[in-house]
Amino acid sequence: MFSLFASPLIYVADLLFGNRRQKQFSVTEAELHGWIERWKFVGNSIDKLLAPPQLTAAAATISDEVSAYSFDRVIICDRATIAQLLIANNVHFENSCAILSLNGYPAAIFDTVMQMLRRNSDLTVYVLHDATPQGISLIHTLKTSSEWFENQTLRYFELGLLPRQAIGKRQMIVNQSAVFVQEAELLPESVRQSLSKAELEWLDRGYYVELESFSPRRIIRVVTQGIAKSFEPNNSDTLVEFEENDWSNSSTYYADSFG
């Protein structure tokens, strides 16, 4: 598996008398990169460490024969680092799908892939994101943005991470930020209506969970299992249909747990 090093905080979980006790110590991004460079300087290697994703690149040349086709499925992540992780681990090959990020990764093929996706009116969209205001607004953004799938009736599957999947879960690393308090106040009304009172209170207090707090193995498992369950969502007791009275007519489902 490939590793992700993106969070400025490192958490250590101890198992004490059968209960998890979480300890925290702060590490700046500069310190973390300094440790990595020192590790490599003394002769060690980190073969599976991903470099920061490149958000600008010259467009790749794709033959007309290939670009004439489309995809039946696409996974869209709110951040490039998660899309990069999935691609590096061949999730797109194993699940026959495209993988993109909201901010245009992978840059070299992004525009071409989007053209291919828009040709398929039966496209199924899976979203994977942090439990943040931007993350939980991802489907809303895709449905209402002319740069994505505005006015298209598609099926959407929420792979997570939603506040309802994090609230009360002691094994999850929950952070808090004043920045997200402000972002929660700006959530579209349709998004707020899709959330429970407990979820809104959680977000309004600035709580959030990052996908980087999970192992790559778990993230990939969530994606793989979510896609498998989506083939027959009405027959799965782990997929629940959203109630979105004021959104589009698209079908949207979410999983009641994260992995």
Cβ atoms within 10 A of the Cβ of 50, count? 17
> In this predicted model, what pLDDT tens digit does every residue of 192-224 receive, in sequence order?
999 999 999 999 999 999 998 888 999 999 999
Tell me if 199 is assigned to some domain.
yes
Tell me if 45 is assigned to some domain.
no
> In this predicted model, what pLDDT tens digit does every residue of 44-57 receive, in sequence order?
777 666 777 776 66
Q: Name residues whose C-beta falls within 8 Å of residue 230's C-beta, 6 or more positions apart in sequence.
A: 124, 126, 155, 157, 239, 253
- Look up residue 72 and give its two tokens: 């039946």
Nearest by Cα to 125 from 194, 145, 60? 145
Tell me if 162 is assigned to some domain.
yes
DSSP-derived 3-state class of residue 220: helix
Tell me if 207 is assigned to some domain.
yes
Q: Which domain holds residue 135?
A: 71-255
pLDDT of residue 243: 38
> In this predicted model, what pLDDT tens digit does every residue of 54-99 receive, in sequence order?
766 656 666 665 555 778 999 999 999 999 999 999 999 999 999 9
**Residues 225, 160, 54: CA angle, nearest 5 degrees:** 95
* Contact predicate 106/83, CB 8 Å: yes
Total of domains in the chain: 1
Tell me if 6 is assigned to some domain.
no
- Give bridge partners of residue 13 from the DSSP assignment: 22
Nearest by Cα to 42 from 52, 50, 34, 53? 34
Tell me if 44 is assigned to some domain.
no
* Contact predicate 249/151, CB 8 Å: no
* Contact predicate 234/251, CB 8 Å: no
Asked if pLDDT for residue 5 goes beyond 60, the answer is no
> In this predicted model, what pLDDT tens digit does every residue of 156-168 receive, in sequence order?
999 989 999 889 8
- Give bridge partners of residue 75 from the DSSP assignment: 99, 126
Mean pLDDT value across the chain:
79
Tell me if 37 is assigned to some domain.
no
CA distance 98 to 23: 38
Tell me if 55 is assigned to some domain.
no
Q: What is the pTM assigned to this prediction?
A: 0.76
Burial class (CB in 10 A: 0-12, 13-18, 19+), 181: middle
Q: What is the CATH number of the domain that holds 113?
A: 3.40.1360.10
pLDDT of residue 176: 93
- Residues above pLDDT 90, as percent of the chain: 48
Q: Name residues whose C-beta falls within 8 Å of residue 57's C-beta, 6 or more positions apart in sequence.
A: 106, 107, 108
